[in-house]
Structure 1
Amino acid sequence: MDPLARTFVKLLAFDFLSLRYQPHPHGFCSSGPTFSRKGRSIFRAEAVGVVVERERKEGFLRFLVDDGTGCIPCILWLNHLSPSNRSSYLARRNPSDLELAAKHAADQAEGVQLGRLARVRGRVTHFRGSLQITVSCVTIERDPNAEILHWLDCIRLATQCYDQPPPRR
């Protein structure tokens, strides 16, 4: 398996928005849709940018992160931990852990405000034909250099790692 499949790939918006849908060779894949960049599979992504749009609904927060190369749509689910929406997997978990996770998601949503610099990590997904990041973690950056440092990381990683062919077994 490609090592990129297990990590949060640091991407600029123009790279993220150019990801291609890669159908699973045997039809349905239990891990969800697969996306690729230059032939390498990407499941998770990390982006840094300014929050330029924010829409909070009952069960989710949808927002856009602009890094100067484009805007990445992000969604942070808030209702997946409520008792009415719990999957059988979540039903087996400790209720106090679920309460902590729900509080953490709500705290993250409160931090996402217009004009703030945010670091977003999550799964690459699509909704109605558009790419998005389904957020697992969002951090509000206090360092004004975080965005340019992310840019430099993206450029370095693209040339030294992401653009290289996957290792052979």
Structure 2
Amino acid sequence: SLLLRFWVNMLKNPDFLLDVDKQPCVDACLSVITQTFIDGCSLHQQKLGKDSPSSKLLYAKDIPRYRKMVDDYFHLIQHLPDISDDDMYNILSQHSQSHSTSCQTDAALQQLYQYALQYRVELLESLDEDSIARRQNLASQFETIHNFINKDHFSC
């Protein structure tokens, strides 16, 4: 599922992740690469003939090698030792700490606040209309944050 749901999407649509403009000729090439990736992950052998699409014929001789690579990959994963929940938590915590300086939390919060400020009226109306938001008093909390920031505690 990871290969076919995530990676196929990334291969076919790099603009989801990267700020790129995908031209039609690039889109066609990415479609061929994506289909080859799907075929390499497939469990059944396809019968190709003279009426098969040229995009499938282009990499047909490479598909068995790709399938072997995928099989080897999953075989290795299957034989990895189990990881405990505590070990996983520690690994993720260490990873998070090692990248804590690369996150620009203040800049992200500032941009988020500027966006919220731009749509302040609409946000407040939506928060007032929503029953859960009313129970949690979110409109009032938003106003409190807005007033706090406007008292020059932060420069936005």
TM range (shorter): under 0.3
Ranked by relative contact order (alpha carbons within 8 Å, sequence separation 6 or more), the top structure is: 1
* Larger-gyration structure (1/2): 2
Which structure shows the bigger proportion of residues in helix conformation? 2
**What TM-score do the two structures reach when normalised by structure 2?**
0.27
**What TM-score do the two structures reach when normalised by structure 1?**
0.25
